[in-house]
Amino acid sequence: MEDRLQAAERYIDEHRGALLALLQDLVAFRTEAPPARNAAGAQAYVARYLQELGLVTDVWDVFPGDPNVVGVRRGDPRKHSLLINGHIDVAEVGEGHGWTRDPFTCVLESGRVYGRGTADMKGGLAAALFALRALADAGVPTGGDVIFESVVGEEQGEAGTRSCNERGYRADFGLVPDTSGLAIQGQGGVITGWITIQSPRTFHDGMRSRLIHAGGGVRGFSAIEKMAKVIQALGDLERYWAVTRAYPGIPPGSNTINPAVIEGGRHPAFVADRCALWITVHFHPDQTYQEVTREIEEHVLAAAQADPWLREHPPTFRWGGRSMIEDRGEIFPALPLPADHPATRLLVAAHEQVVGRPPELGMSRTVTDAGWLGDAGIPAVIYGPGELDHAHAVDESCDFEQIVQAAKVYARFIATWTNTDRP
């Protein structure tokens, strides 16, 4: 097997130009999200690539114009299966102000490839696809099932990977070649939510004096002013978390509750009868988003009990969603790092063999779709080329040698893991 693995690595070295061309093709597709609904051409390209390698493809629309593509090669059920998951969408460019290059023309300059998605994460997607090409052309067999998911919507918290889970795709281990600088990572989780205060009555601005004066005789309040008490309660809980909660590899205080957007009132001539607060919550891998949201609700409702009006008109909650675009909500489940999993140990060994030193193991500073694999019961890791400092940035770029190394590591890992016997 080792001779064949080395042959696959030589193939990647000898065909760097083909790997670069693959990346250039992927970058040329304008799959920005927002606006999204533009991934059909890119996904058709990925589907053809997988079909050329002998994988059976499944294509379906998650949103109109944004299909998922899953390629499957069924193997020996006695061997371990592997699921590779990557997103085809990229961060928006907008008007392109500050860019010194065309964001959708990938160029190689002084060892770095430039273009939107080179770091996040078309570089990793290209490396994983090309690893399958290298294994096939070098005659390296895969043993167990190989499932390759090219999904939409990661940049806007959309349901691409979640839709794959709902379609039933599972494997013994998951690899997400997203931006990690070739470190092996887990991640914390993120969920957004709306807290809403609604008054049953709407008052004209001229009534405000009767609402606030001791002898006014009318019982009513501004929903905006009452939301201030909710924000204070959230801040108290956030500070409590920062002091009392910790998780290895995650900086202290990272479990935050951000009051990101507030919407309230209807017109200066009215007392605000409604106020909605959009919050973003970061949590640790030893928590589920269901546990975190329940704790927030209990804390806010307990604070509301101390206010006579809020006690009778308590805040309501709406958590998560399937799209930041469609319903202004998102969920990224947390993912513990399975450091002692046999597949992780094989990935460490593959990295050492290719790169010449052990990889870093830790927690990502951001969130990816890897959490949805963990949510489906699939042990998984994030491991991909590119640095977060260059992701989403003007003149986004990635060290091309890192993409080459990633392809070699993927090839070695895919072959060794899928040819390992299942218990």
Distance, CA of 167 to CA of 39 (rounded, Å)? 20
Distance CA 387, CA 383 (A): 11
Q: Which of 32, 66, 89, 399 is catalytic?
A: 89
Cβ atoms of 258 and 266 within 8 Å: the answer is: no
Give catalytic status of residue 154 as yes or no.
yes
Three-state DSSP class for residue 40 = helix
- Among the listed residues 120, 154, 155, 238, the single catalytic one is 154
What DSSP letter does each residue of 272-320 carry, written as one string? --EEEEEEEEEE-TTS-HHHHHHHHHHHHHHHHTTSHHHHHS--EEEE-
Upper half-sphere CA count for residue 318 (Cβ side, 13 Å): 12
At 167, list the tokens: 């379609």
- Give the integer Cα–Cα distance in Å for 141 and 415: 7
Neighbours of 18 (CB within 10 A): 15
Backbone angles phi, psi at 399, to 5 degrees: -65, 120
Q: Residue 116's closest CA among 26, 21, 47?
A: 26
Query: Rounded to 5 degrees, what angle do the CA atoms 209, 211, 212 make?
Result: 70
Tell me the backbone φ, ψ of residue 83, rounded to 5 degrees: -115, 125
Examine the residue annotation and report whether 25 is marked as an active-site residue of this protein.
no
Residues involved in catalysis:
89, 154
